[in-house]
Structure 1
Amino acid sequence: MTYSIIARHPVTGEFGVACQSHFFGVGSAVNWAEAGAGAIVTQSFVNRDYGALGIERFRAGESAPAVLADLLAEDPHPELRQVAMVDHNGRFAVHTGARCVPVRGSRQGGSFSVQGNMLAGEDVLDAMAAAAETGLEAGQRLATVLVQALRAAERAGGDARGSQAAGIMVVGPHRTASPRQEVLVDLRVEDSTDPVGELERLVERHSLFEDIVSVLFAEGLMLGPFREPGPGATDAALDRLARAAAELGEENPEAALWRAVLLLRAGRNGEATDALARLYATRPDLRAFLARLREAGFLDAAAARGTAEQEVGLSAPDIDQSPRELP
């Protein structure tokens, strides 16, 4: 019914899971992970308790082999389940029930496990394992490794019934007071003729928006009164936004917009004027949005003075003369 990969990155310590199935919305049922605790996939005739209860017990410090053995003992139908787990110490445990539909099985490496049932053939598992091994040895980011393993499975035949849905989840290596803040990637394709291809596109797009978010949430650069966090921080942020803008193109001006805002906040009004002119050429409606950003405190007096005022559509008397902290 499903094939999946579960991994712990040998360098970063991040945990990740990814899956594909010819079944609607598979990701929300199969993929479970929590920062610093571990990760779980539960598939075949899915019992979500393996995910929810397994993560709960990982938090308490229990090992994957012990947790899986206990949950299988409590399950009235373990013969129908396929489950893989990795705990906070990188210990793996895998179960494939005797009544999971063939072709079924799993392959393990030092930092990953791949598993599946209802597969087109054994080659699917071999291809996934080889892709995971290659990616991890090359030091690729975990999300890339997971997607490439799914892509390798599809090339080898994948699910015998076809393709419909896919999902991926990557979390951080350490426990914190707020584990949800450590969810690094959480994406799903619920219903598609090419779910792995679409998931790959979303993972690439996610990476671009990570660069945007890194600037949007930067104290001083974008939050509160402008101040440069360190030497060269503004230029580095502008470069990240410029690369993201080039990738996104004119149809998505998000990165270009925030790059112009950062130029304004930094008082680089000549560059800001040029950036805004290009932005307004295709999105004149964003003039009003820039004015709203000023009202919200993103553009303080020092950043908004000069030639860029006219491009923003603000006049000097309208500009608040004292920088404001954002709520």
Structure 2
Amino acid sequence: MDTLGFLGPLGTHSEAAALHLNSFLDEPRELMGFPAIFQALLAVEEAQVKGALVPVENSLEGSVNITLDTLSASDAFAVTLELIWGVRNELMVKYPQSEIRSVISHAQPLSQCRAYLKAHCPHAKLVAVSSTAEAARLVAESRPADGCVAICTARAGELYGLFPVAKDIQDTMANCTRFFLVERAGANPPALRFCKEPVPEKMLVILQIDGKRAGSLCEVLQEFASRGVNMVRIESRPARTEFGAYIFFFELEVKDKEQLAASIAAVREKSIWLRTLGAFPVLTAANLKGASLWSSL
């Protein structure tokens, strides 16, 4: 059986998203947790797993930089599917009657739940750990006098014997995380149970241009705009070669394939290097309230 990597341990939002995706794959995969996103992607690069589902952006906190940096550092990767996952955070305790002295979670949920924490736990110490599942484990091992609570998934609470104090404590119900299914270069989008041949909606292009030359980015953008290619997202990251050098990530809408190919060919001529990571479908998870199965680009 093929293997699907994710950011572990058990009980994380990444595991929940991987379980959800696996339920739609025509050929479900064995799930394998990794302690870090980099290690999950390295396992793909070294062919230890067929693919890895990794977070790339949260709607409240922005880009997941380690994912972008790792994708840009190797030509071994392809993005074969995007999953938009609705994030649901719960406040979990081991001792329901204890005074809340510290709130433990990953840094992103702590930030995503600022309004709730300000209103209900204004004097509690906020403790950031490696994952929401690790927060649940620490709370499960705490003593009543510690007054520890965790912000985590419902599954993490169940795994560690915790009790929910409050559900959906994120600042907005629109909170969601985009995940990329990353496989080896040349891989095609996986067959889904409801659609054997998913229709590609987006393409990821990574490139570096000469940022010291005035107008170089504008010229690249014009190549897309003049051919009617819609840019869904643009992001820049340091090239890690010298100060002031940047790599750009373009997510492009796939409609007119000929114009898309022509624009990429033209941009390649204006780039120091350019890499396409494939065209892929976009799947919206069912737990996004009011959302359809497919995205609506």
TM-score by length of 2: 0.23
Q: Comparing both chains, which one has the higher relative contact order based on Cα–Cα distances under 8 Å and sequence gaps of 6 or more?
A: 2
Say which one has the larger Rg.
1
More strand by share: 2
Normalising by structure 1, we get a TM-score of 0.21
- Structure ranking higher in helix proportion: 1
